[in-house]
Homo-oligomer: A and B are copies of this chain.
Amino acid sequence: MTKDMTPLLGYRLKLAQHALHRRMEEALRPLGLSPAQYAVLAELNARPDQTNADLAERAFITPQSMQGVLTKLEGSGLVERRQDARHGRRQLARLTGEGRLKAEAANAAVMRVEDLLEAAVHPACVQDAVDLMNRLHNAMCE
């Protein structure tokens, strides 16, 4: 006989993240950004002048996929890339002025979602929840 899978922790983790992703999409849609695009803007806002490969690694996607994201953001005028003076192949990405404004607006929208998420646990337990996520993450990475 097969067990009922629905009460399992992995399934619940998937459900929670799926709902969060939907909420993120909704929060960012008015700004014309996808979650992936937002992640790049936030990252470049915190640490300018990163290569495509750097950004891909931080976002857990391949450099090929990040290429598409970055090219689109560049086409929208939110990001600019220029040659690394000391490296013939590297291209360093940074936010434009418009990109910085967009990143700040997106951060505000995302923080509203984060606040809703954290409101689901007692204020004193937020760190416990973060620790739990870290333990689950580490368990899946060996």
Instruction: Tell me if A85 counts as interface (CB < 8 A to partner B).
Output: no
Q: Does the CB pair B139–A120 fall under 8 Å? A: yes
**A67-75, A76-84, A130-138: which one contacts chain B?**
A130-138
Given A9-B133, A10-B114, A141:B2 Cβ within 8 A: no
This protein's copies in its complex: 2
A2/B107 contact (C-beta < 8 A), A60-B18, A114-B9 known: yes
As a 0/1 sequence over residues 93 to 109 of chain A, the CB contacts with chain B under 8 angstroms (1 = contact) are: 00000000001100100
A119 at the interface (CB under 8 A from B): yes
Q: Interface size (A, Cβ < 8 Å)?
A: 51
Q: Do A117 and B42 form a contact, CB below 8 Å, given A2-B103, A20-B136, A136-B20? A: no
A86 interfacial by beta-carbon distance below 8 Å? no
Is A124 an interface residue, CB under 8 A from the partner? no
A116 to B129, Cβ gap below 8 A? no
Contact with B along A1-42 (1 / 0, CB 8 A): 011110111101111111111111000000000000000001
